[in-house]
């Protein structure tokens, strides 16, 4: 798990994940999201090119990252969230502008699509196009 | 009759999920299932095993047995545990009217699993007077023994 500056003038940080995103690894990703938010990151591109498996825990991590980046209190995956009072986006149920994904492929991409998460988090094939979309 | 390949973990924990996936994938890939179908089966097994370890055992280590049984044109993966009875077929998804930005993260695993396999069967081990579940995931489309590879 590494981070890169996305360059350009939009202040996008790239979080590059590698390996399997499952119930034993997803909490570290959420924790990294909290740290990045605390460091001032508000636009995050998650690079999943090197992720070969993503379980529902990984989907929880992606959903949680998006919520953290829009200023929600960090979740406790075991106990869930309280009500959200400071919503900036998504009142219509569409996407949000803080988190995007690039490089999701195979079963990882299918999991994002089948659960409808692509309605909320845009998935790009190309990194530059993803950066330009913020 | 040959014994079905079996992986038995006496004290399974979340870090064993990669081992469970590799075990199922390794056997499924020899049955002629299409690569995407193998991925789907592995996804469903991971979701169900995760449920057992995270919710059934509440994060404490517990026994988990995974058995891969190749039948005529189908592959059956059986998961056995000692957790309190839980039938994933009866689980209802959360209210999806709530927009994503206000939704509590979670509830993805069981619906995702349902879409990944052809059949899910559950049997609680109550007849034995003990806790425990036997969950069977069926994926069709394996190579029939009568057809050329």
Answer yes or no: do A92 and B18 touch at CB < 8 A. no
Per-residue pLDDT tens over the stretch B88-115: 999 887 666 678 887 888 888 999 999 9
What residues 29-88 of chain A have any CB closer than 8 A to a CB of chain B? 53, 55-57, 59-60, 63-64, 66-67, 70, 75, 77, 80-81, 83-84, 87
Q: Quick one: pLDDT band at residue A88, thresholds 50, 70, 90?
A: very low
For residue A62, what are the CA distances in angstroms to A31, A36, A112, A131, B129? 12, 14, 10, 17, 41
| B100/A107 CB distance under 8 A | no
Contact list in B for residue A106 (CB cut-off 8 A) is: 39
User: What is residue B25's predicted lDDT score, i.e. its pLDDT?
Assistant: 97
Within 8 A by CB and 6+ apart from B79, the residues are: B45, B48, B49, B52, B64, B65, B66, B133, B134, B135, B136, B137
Q: Which of B18, B28, B53, B105 is the best substitution to test chain A (most A C-beta atoms within 10 A)?
A: B105
Q: Which two tokens stand for residue B84?
A: 């309190």
3-state SS, one letter per residue, for chain A: CEEEECCCCCCCEEEEEEEEECCCCHHHHHHHHHHHHHCCCCCEEEEEEEEEEECHHHHHHHHHHHHHHCCCCCCECCCECCCCCCCCCCCCCCCCCCEEEECCCHHHHHHHHHCCHHHCCCEECCHHHHHHCC
Q: For B54-80, what is the mean pLDDT? A: 95
Mean pLDDT to the nearest integer, A108-132: 95
ipTM of the complex: 0.90
What would the pLDDT profile of A39-53 be if each residue is shown by its tens digit? 999 999 999 999 999
pTM of the model as a whole: 0.90
Q: For a pLDDT cut of 90, what percent of chain B falls above it?
A: 70
């Amino acid at each position: 798990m590494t981070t890169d500056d996305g360059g350009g003038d939009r202040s996008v940080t790239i979080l590059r994940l590698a390996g399997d995103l499952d119930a034993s690894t997803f909490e570290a990703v959420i924790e990294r999201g909290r740290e990045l938010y605390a460091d001032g990151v508000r636009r995050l591109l998650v690079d999943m090119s090197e992720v070969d498996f993503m379980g529902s825990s990984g989907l929880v991590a992606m959903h949680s990252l998006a919520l953290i980046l829009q200023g929600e209190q960090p979740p406790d995956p075991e106990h869930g969230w309280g009500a959200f009072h400071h919503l900036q986006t998504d009142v219509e149920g569409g996407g949000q502008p803080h988190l995007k994904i690039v490089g999701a492929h195979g079963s990882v991409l299918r999991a994002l699509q089948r659960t409808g998460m692509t309605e909320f988090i845009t998935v790009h094939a190309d990194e530059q196009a993803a950066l330009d979309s913020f | 009759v040959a014994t079905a390949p079996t992986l038995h973990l006496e004290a399974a924990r979340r870090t064993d999920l990669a081992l469970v996936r590799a075990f199922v994938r390794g056997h499924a890939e020899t049955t002629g299932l299409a690569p995407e179908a193998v991925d789907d089966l592995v996804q469903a097994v991971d979701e169900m095993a995760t449920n057992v370890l995270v919710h059934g055992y509440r994060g404490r280590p517990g026994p988990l047995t995974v058995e891969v049984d190749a039948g005529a044109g189908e592959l059956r993966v059986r998961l056995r545990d000692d957790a309190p009875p839980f039938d994933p077929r009866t689980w209802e998804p959360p209210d999806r009217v709530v927009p994503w930005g206000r939704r509590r993260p979670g509830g993805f695993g069981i619906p995702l699993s349902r879409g990944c396999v052809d059949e899910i069967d559950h049997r609680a081990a109550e007849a034995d007077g003990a806790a425990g579940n036997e969950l069977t995931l069926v994926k069709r489309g394996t190579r029939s023994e009568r057809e050329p590879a």
